[in-house]
Amino acid sequence: MPSRVIELERLVKTILSAALLASVGALTVSACAKKVDKTPETKIEETVREVAPRDILADILTHPRRAEEAKRDMFRHPKETLEFFEVGPGKHVAEVWPGWYTNILAPYAKETGGTYTAILYPENMGDRAIARVAAFKEKYADTEIYGDIQYGAFGKDHGAIMAPESVDVIITFRNVHNWMGSGYVDQAFAEFYAALKPGGILGVVEHRLPETMSQDPRGATGYVQESYIKDLAGKAGFEFVASSEINANAKDTADHPFGVWTLPPRSRLPDEGTAEATDFNAEAYKNIGESDRATLKFRKPL
């Protein structure tokens, strides 16, 4: 075969190969383009990520008005605690004998379309209780910040704290020992049960007494065993859901000269000149921090 013909055939093959490669390349680019094309679901997901709803609870916790209270967050872990108790948008949350948490819960309810009810002391508890209720209402009167706070009352033989089956979540912080000491702890759990909707949550945080120590039925040291609280809730009809170590403090032995009040924030000191004052090491108790706490979640059956 003449050399010119051979060269021509090689040229044709080269051209054809190049064309084929170009076609394959175009198809590959096209295929890749199709892969890159986003489905409607993907686009929605990306939009949600780009315009994600702000963490309202986190914003409230870091607000300047909480600057002083926030110093105790390291011991109280409010975000984790409230999330554990299933406090969420649109819910009706009632706090029994409130205080420190109101500056979180009331703004949160306002921002999320929920309702916050403060269950305060009843008038039959005396002038001191009446004064504290008045001071509380004055402190949280700004509806622009705290919304329209609802109010109830709870105390010995006072009666129903709220309308039956009207609340999604009832929470109480470090109060069980008070009701034990005053002789109406059974009444407390019964009234909480009545006020909750079926399926509603009762969240309890309490200074925790180790199960190896003897439980004073009047809670004189401020510490209460988890098993004791579970028994109280069970007798009222609650189902135990879960416990959390969110508010645990392994440094706390629950065995202090003035009970839980030996520790911060109370940090009670012995009277000068007493035998207790001789070897009392205030700094050691401060270094323990706030108490070891049980964090317990109960549910009213459906």
CATH at 100 = 3.40.50.150
Give the tens place of pLDDT for each residue, 123-161: 888 899 999 999 999 999 999 999 999 999 999 988 899
Confidence (pLDDT) at 44: 45
Confidence (pLDDT) at 16: 44
Distance CA 100, CA 196 (A): 23
- pTM (predicted TM-score): 0.81
Confidence (pLDDT) at 53: 58
| Coil, helix or strand at residue 107 | helix
Q: Is residue 54 part of a domain?
A: no
| Coil, helix or strand at residue 243 | strand
Domain that holds residue 125: 70-299
User: What stretches of 174-227 adopt beta strand conformation (E)?
Assistant: 196-207
Confidence (pLDDT) at 201: 98
Same domain flag for 83 and 183: yes
Give the tens place of pLDDT for each residue, 164-221: 999 999 999 999 999 999 999 999 999 999 999 999 999 999 999 999 999 999 999 9
CA distances in angstroms from 156 to 86, 94, 150, 240, listed in the order given: 28, 18, 21, 25
How many Cβ atoms are within 10 Å of 24's Cβ, its own excluded? 10
Same domain flag for 24 and 118: no
Instruction: Flag whether pLDDT at 115 surpasses 50.
Output: yes
Same domain flag for 33 and 138: no
- Pick from 233, 215, 231: nearest CA to 223: 215
Rg of the chain over Cα atoms, rounded to whole angstroms, equals 31
Distance CA 154, CA 184 (A): 11
Same domain flag for 274 and 172: yes
Same domain flag for 157 and 17: no
When pLDDT is cut at 50, 70 and 90, the band that residue 10 belongs to is low
Distance CA 170, CA 164 (A): 13
Confidence (pLDDT) at 275: 85
Tokens 């109960």 — which residue? Answer: 298
Distance CA 193, CA 164 (A): 9
Give the tens place of pLDDT for each residue, 244-295: 999 999 999 999 999 999 999 999 999 998 988 988 999 999 999 999 999 9
Strand partners, 116: 93
Same domain flag for 135 and 34: no
Q: Is pLDDT larger for residue 299 or for residue 20?
A: 299
CA distances in angstroms from 246 to 59, 75, 136, 252, listed in the order given: 20, 9, 28, 15
Task: Give the rounded distance of the alpha carbon of 296 from its chain centre.
Answer: 11
- Pick from 202, 222, 209: nearest CA to 262: 222
Q: Is pLDDT larger for residue 31 or for residue 186?
A: 186
Task: Work out the average pLDDT over 63-91.
Answer: 97
Give the count of domains, the chain.
2
Instruction: Flag whether pLDDT at 38 surpasses 80.
Output: no
Q: Is residue 57 part of a domain?
A: no
Strand partners, 296: 204, 243
